[in-house]
Amino acid sequence: MCKNYLLSLLCVLCLGTSYSQEKIEHSYWEWVVGSEISDKRLNEIAPHFPRGDDSQYNSSNYDQAILRWQKLYCFEYEALINAPELTRLNPYYTGYENIVEIPYFIRPLSSYDKPIKKETGNDFEDELDYELDLQAWYFVFAPEEFYHIYRIKPTFPEWFDVQAYKDQIVKKIEETKKQEAANK
């Protein structure tokens, strides 16, 4: 069964109380509020977590904000759901939950140029794909900026060779350029 579903269900069951001072009623937000995690600690482990008391969120866009955060900042997501402040509320927690093996930004790139946003008509998906493509671009072509912008230093499983991934991206772009030149 999907871990996200179980975590959400757990939040609803354990924290069914509504926090009237909060603007958002959402299982993740209620779980964080119910954990009584300090703002300082939350900012240390998940600085990009969409806070339900932030005026930019409402009940119609908070689910998308959470999904966006889980994909763009998957290491923060993993750290937060494994934080002792939150795990103490989870009777099913049996140990560290390895959510991230390979982050979402590890994806193919087709050009040395920064990605451009596609316009498919689905603004949320277009924006998320664009942001993930941009993360991938920075990770491959401007790693110092990647760490500065996203404030994450990803860790990968032993079997994943980061340099081989980056080299393969460059190789594929070069092959595509040669093929396009030959077809002219």
Instruction: Answer whether residue 53 is part of any domain.
Output: yes
pLDDT in tens, 10-20: 444 444 433 33
Residue 83 has pLDDT above 60, yes or no: yes
83 and 142 share one domain: no
Residue 181 lies in a domain: no
Q: 7 and 63: one domain?
A: yes
Measured between alpha carbons, how far is residue 31 from residues 9, 74, 170 in Å?
Answer: 11, 18, 43
For residues 2-9, average pLDDT: 44
Rounded CA separation 106/123 (Å):
22
Identify whether 179 is part of a domain.
Answer: no
Same-domain status, 91 and 106 = no
Q: Grade residue 151 by pLDDT with cuts at 50, 70 and 90.
A: confident
Distance CA 156, CA 28 (A): 26
What global pTM score does this model have? 0.71
The reply to whether 3 and 69 lie within a common domain is yes
Q: Does residue 58 sit within a domain?
A: yes
Give domain status of residue 86, yes or no. Answer: yes
Boundaries of domain holding 161: 101-167
Are 105 and 62 in a shared domain?
A: no
CA 79 – CA 16 distance, rounded (Å):
23
Q: Are residues 119 and 37 in the same domain?
A: no
Q: Are residues 122 and 96 in the same domain?
A: no
Give the pLDDT confidence of 92-138 residue by residue, as tens digits. Answer: 889 988 888 888 899 999 899 999 999 999 899 999 999 999 999 99
Q: Is residue 89 part of a domain?
A: yes
Mean pLDDT of the chain: 85
Convert the pLDDT of each residue in 21-49 to its tens digit.
Answer: 345 788 889 999 999 999 999 999 999 99
Given this model, what pLDDT does residue 58 score?
84
115 DSSP 8-state letter: P
- As for how many domains the chain has, the answer is 2
